[in-house]
Structure 1
């Protein structure tokens, strides 16, 4: 199976400097927030990880630009970079818009030239915007998977739903 990551902005108007993650999610989800956090904590615990709501959230453009660069160097590097970014953001309170964090993740997975790439705000910008136009029109929830260009899954689903979708897509 080939896994390719494409950009999607949950909050296109998010500030580059970031905002308090806990406050943002409380404002966004209101009374559902505690249930969401409890569910995420349980999912992460089941994976041997600790869900962390500390830190900032905000503009993800630079992370998408960097994922584009990683994809140019190999889909394995792109996937490994996405995993590093997710681990930092969801378990360590790292800010997805922080250049130092992005460059460190890229270094860990062997993406070359990350700092220089991010220094130029136009690097990868057109490509990210083209992919946003191409892929984000029909997305209603994340994660969003397109299997073999035909079958789509949107939003958090139980593992058995993904397993069934993979089996259908494989036939």
Structure 2
């Protein structure tokens, strides 16, 4: 990529980010906050973010499962789980997140949450961004059950959506297959874990990258785009 300083992108041509994520992935929440920090350091760089679905465990039943036994079964022991939570909490604190793992009583199936995020994205990507922020917050910091339709509808309303319409749609299976297809596409692309950030549908960044790494990547791609390199 060019090392020359490019003119800032105009608001009419924002940099597009597709972020493959699951709302019960703590590293996705950390990535969200780190990305916000990177963006705040580059206020001149317009960015359009689209949150794409992924399910860490699609086998969880629609009503969710009891969290503690599920996590113990997944990670093998309480000591191992405590170590993981401590490491995540440390990284979260640096990103301004107060993880409250002890408050989470239910591990949800996130398909319905992704359906609501999909509807938000078709309405406005800024609404979708607000909604994903709220879902991360209420799950990881408040321990709210994301398999509960009323919870999802309330979060949608807070983000700027019509609660009545969301509630009605959640009663059926609208767009469930579409969300599953998007997840399958991510798997076909070789995405085996989240978060995964695709910049301009060309450059992939796996994992929760530090803010400076994110900022540098965004600026390099923005410069290349502004210089007509793609």
TM-score by length of 1: 0.89
Moved more, 96-105 or 41-50: 41-50
Could you say what secondary structure the match of 1:5 adopts? strand
Any runs of at least 4 consecutive aligned residues in structure 1 with deviations exceeding 6 A, and if so which? none
Q: Is the 8 A contact 1:51 1:90 kept in 2?
A: yes
Sort the Cα spacing of 1:34 and 1:155 in 2 relative to 1 into closer, same or farther, 3 A: farther
Deviations 1:45-102 (A, max 9, x none): 2344320112211211101111111111111111111111110111110122111110
Structure whose alpha-carbon radius of gyration is higher: 2
Sort the Cα spacing of 1:166 and 1:23 in 2 relative to 1 into closer, same or farther, 3 A: farther
Q: Which of 79, 89, 96 matches 2:139?
A: 89
1:34, CA displacement in angstroms? 2.4
The structure whose residues are more often strand, as a share, is 2
Other-structure match for 1:135: 186
Other-structure match for 2:118: 68
Other-structure match for 2:219: 167
1:9, CA displacement in angstroms? 0.9
Other-structure match for 1:105: 155
Could you say what secondary structure the match of 1:2 adopts? strand
Query: Is 1:78 aligned to residue 124 of structure 2?
Result: no
Q: Which of 209, 221, 227 matches 1:157?
A: 209
Other-structure match for 1:39: 87
Sort the Cα spacing of 1:29 and 1:160 in 2 relative to 1 into closer, same or farther, 3 A: farther
Which structure is richer in relative contact order (CA contacts within 8 A, separation 6 or more)? 2
CA distance in 2, matches of 1:144, 1:67: 17
Deviations 1:18-48 (A, max 9, x none): 1233332333233643232112212332344
1:129, CA displacement in angstroms? 2.4
Q: Which of 6, 9, 14 matches 2:55?
A: 9
Q: Which of 42, 49, 52 matches 2:100?
A: 52
Q: Is the 8 A contact 1:16 1:59 kept in 2?
A: yes
Q: Is the 8 A contact 1:103 1:114 kept in 2?
A: yes
Length, aligned pairs only: 170
